[in-house]
Chains A and B, each alone.
Chain A
Amino acid sequence: MGFNPTVKDLFGLEVLAVRSHLILALGGIAASVLAGCGDSPDARFVLNARTLALAPEAQEPVENALNDNFGTPTNLVAWLRLPVNYGGSEGTVERVETDGPTDSFVAKIDGEVADPAIYPEFHWLSGAYAGNEQMPTLAHFDPETNVVSLIETLDPPPKPGDRFLINAGKTLKDGRRLYMTHCVHCHGTSGDGNGPTAKYLNPLPRDYRLGTFKFTSTVRVGQPGDKVRRDDLARIVRNGIPGTYMPSFLLLGDDETVAVVEYVRWLAMRGELEHKLDADLEGDYTIQAVAERIEGKEDPKEIFANLATLVPQTVARASKELDAAWQAAENDKHVIRPTQKRHTVEQDPDSIARGRALFLSAKAKCATCHGVTGRGDGPQTEAVQQGNDKPGLFDDWKHRVQPRDLTTGIFRGGRRPVDIYRRIRAGIKGTPMPPFGNDVLNDGEVWDLVNYVLYIPHLKGESIPAITPEVQSDEKHASN
Chain B
Amino acid sequence: MQKFLTYTLAALFVGVMPFVGCSDKGAATKTNVVIKPNDTEQQTSEKQNASTDGAKGAAAGFGSFKGKVVMQGTAPQLEALVRKGANIKDADVCAAQDIPNEKLVVGPSGGVANVFVYLQTAPPGAKTTDPPADPVLFDQKGCHFIPHALFVQVGRPLQVVSGDEVAHNTHTKPVRGTQFNAIINKGDRVGVKTTYSTFENQPIPVNCDFHAWMFAWHLPLEHPFAAVTDEKGEFEIAELPAGTHKFKVWHEGAGFLERNLSVTVNANAVTEQEIPYPATKFKP
Residues of chain A touching chain B, judged by Cβ–Cβ distance below 8 Å, are 11, 14-15, 17-18, 21-22, 24-25, 28-29, 32-33, 35, 37, 40, 42-43, 68-69, 71, 73-81, 86, 121, 123, 131, 135, 165, 168-169, 172-173, 176-177, 180-181, 184, 189, 220-222, 226, 276, 279-280, 282-284, 289, 292-293, 296, 298, 306, 309-310, 312-313, 315-317, 320, 362-365, 368, 379-380, 383-387, 393, 427, 432, 434-437, 439-440, 480
Which one, B5, B26, B165, B181, contacts A427 given CB within 8 A? B181
Query: How far apart are the CA atoms of A298 and B49 in the complex, in Å?
Result: 18
Asked if B260 is at the interface of the complex by the 8 Å CB criterion, the answer is yes
Which one, B6, B31, B32, B40, contacts A21 given CB within 8 A? B6
Q: How far is the CB of A156 from chain B (nearest CB, A)?
A: 21
Which one, B13, B26, B176, contacts A25 given CB within 8 A? B13
Residue contact B201 to A380, C-beta cutoff 8 Å = no
Q: How far is the CB of B158 from chain A (nearest CB, A)?
A: 12
Interface string of B164-208 (1 = CB under 8 A from A): 011101010001101111110110000010100000011001010
Residue contact A440 to B183, C-beta cutoff 8 Å = yes
Q: How far is the CB of B5 from chain A (nearest CB, A)?
A: 6
Residue contact A77 to B176, C-beta cutoff 8 Å = no
Residue contact A28 to B13, C-beta cutoff 8 Å = yes
Interface string of B84-126 (1 = CB under 8 A from A): 0000011000000000000000000000000000000000000
A43 to B, closest residue via Cβ: B26
**Extra pairs beyond A75-B32, A313-B47 (15, CB < 8 Å):** A21-B10, A37-B23, A43-B25, A76-B34, A121-B34, A222-B179, A280-B201, A282-B201, A313-B44, A313-B46, A363-B185, A365-B183, A386-B214, A432-B209, A439-B192
Asked if B73 is at the interface of the complex by the 8 Å CB criterion, the answer is no
Q: How far is the CB of A7 from chain B (nearest CB, A)?
A: 8
Residue contact A14 to B6, C-beta cutoff 8 Å = yes
Chain B residues, Cβ within 8 Å of A168:
33, 35
Chain A residues, Cβ within 8 Å of B47:
313
Asked if B66 is at the interface of the complex by the 8 Å CB criterion, the answer is no
Chain B residues, Cβ within 8 Å of A309:
44, 49
Chain A residues, Cβ within 8 Å of B167:
362-365, 440
Query: How far apart are the CA atoms of A384 and B207 in the complex, in Å?
Result: 12
> Which A-B residue pairs are the 10 nearest by beta carbons?
A169-B33, A283-B201, A386-B215, A180-B27, A383-B212, A316-B43, A37-B22, A43-B26, A25-B13, A123-B35
Query: How far apart are the CA atoms of A22 and B20 in the complex, in Å?
Result: 15
Which one, B34, B180, B182, contacts A78 given CB within 8 A? B34
Chain B residues, Cβ within 8 Å of A383:
89, 212
Chain B residues numbered 1-21 whose CB sits less than 8 Å from any CB in chain A: 2-3, 5-6, 9-10, 12-13, 16-17, 20-21
Query: How far apart are the CA atoms of A315 and B44 in the complex, in Å?
Result: 10
Asked if B48 is at the interface of the complex by the 8 Å CB criterion, the answer is yes
Query: How far apart are the CA atoms of A283 and B120 in the complex, in Å?
Result: 11
Residue contact B6 to A40, C-beta cutoff 8 Å = no
A178 to B, closest residue via Cβ: B27
Q: How far is the CB of B112 from chain A (nearest CB, A)?
A: 19
Chain B residues, Cβ within 8 Å of A172:
33
Residue contact B20 to A32, C-beta cutoff 8 Å = yes
Q: How far is the CB of A128 from chain B (nearest CB, A)?
A: 15
Residue contact B22 to A35, C-beta cutoff 8 Å = yes
Chain A residues, Cβ within 8 Å of B90:
362
Known: A14-B2, A384-B212, A437-B182. A312 touches B44 (CB 8 A): yes
Q: How far is the CB of A267 from chain B (nearest CB, A)?
A: 14
Residue contact A18 to B181, C-beta cutoff 8 Å = no
Query: How far apart are the CA atoms of A436 and B182 in the complex, in Å?
Result: 7
Chain A residues, Cβ within 8 Å of B178:
221-222, 226
Residue contact B34 to A387, C-beta cutoff 8 Å = no
Residue contact B46 to A317, C-beta cutoff 8 Å = yes
Residue contact B210 to A380, C-beta cutoff 8 Å = yes
Q: How far is the CB of B238 from chain A (nearest CB, A)?
A: 25
Which one, B23, B33, B43, contacts A76 given CB within 8 A? B33
Residue contact B171 to A434, C-beta cutoff 8 Å = yes
Interface string of B219-235 (1 = CB under 8 A from A): 00000000000000000
Residue contact A387 to B48, C-beta cutoff 8 Å = no
B39 to A, closest residue via Cβ: A81
Residue contact A276 to B176, C-beta cutoff 8 Å = yes
Chain A residues, Cβ within 8 Å of B180:
222
Query: How far apart are the CA atoms of A175 and B131 in the complex, in Å?
Result: 45
Query: How far apart are the CA atoms of A284 and B185 in the complex, in Å?
Result: 39
Residue contact A74 to B31, C-beta cutoff 8 Å = yes
